[in-house]
Each structure stands twice: as C-alpha cells, then as structure tokens.
Amino acid sequence: MTTPVQPDTLEEMLALRDYCYAACEQGSAAEARIAKTVFDWLGNILRSMDVETILKDGKFQPGAQHIVGKVPTDSPEQDLVIKSTIRPGYRLRERLIRAQEVVVYGYEAE
C-alpha cells in the first residue's frame, strides 16, 4: 500500500536527504557512515510514497538531469559525461519533482 504524499512533508524530507547526501561526500568517515544510513533510510520511506530517486552516472540525460557545472576535458568521448552529482533528483510516479543536479565534463577543442 502506498503512503499518501503531503507536499510540505515531502519537501522537508528531500531537504534532509540533500543534507545527508552532502555529508556523505564531505564529512569524516564516521559522519559519512551515519549520513549514508539516514540517506538510505529516507530513500526507503520515499519509495513507500512512490517517490523514485534519480541518481545516475554516465551520459547526461536532459529529461531527468540539470547541468549546474562543467569541467573542461580534452577527450570528446567524455563530453557531457557526468563527473559528479550535487543533488539527487526525484520523480513522483511519472512526474518529475526535481531534476538530478550534475556537474559534467565539457569537451573543448584545442
């Protein structure tokens, strides 16, 4: 059974999950373990509400991802390949709530 989604509650959960994601990337090893546990736990709760996390690597996907930064590369094969994620994206059923915010490589011809 799916839990109904309350907009304010969902917004607060996503903000908390963003904080945990950042702590996983920037905190000490102990902080990262705790943050990852909470991040995963919130992910399970969101899944019970039919909220899918968008956290993908590989080539940039315009419909689900938003570029927030570019890092130059001299390799054309790396053009628009995701270097890192700033914030995960989310989809409620088929509706995009927020695109995954990513930093990509950008090919620059010499």
pLDDT tens string, the chain, 110 residues long: the values are 566 667 788 999 999 999 999 999 887 899 999 999 999 999 999 999 999 999 999 999 999 999 999 999 999 999 999 999 999 999 999 999 999 999 999 998 77
Residues 72 and 101 in one domain: yes
Q: Which two tokens stand for residue 68?
A: 């927030």
Residues 105 and 65 in one domain: yes
Fill in the DSSP letter of residue 64: T
Total number of domains in the chain: 2
70 shares its domain with 102:
yes
pTM of the model: 0.86
3-state SS assignment for residue 69: strand
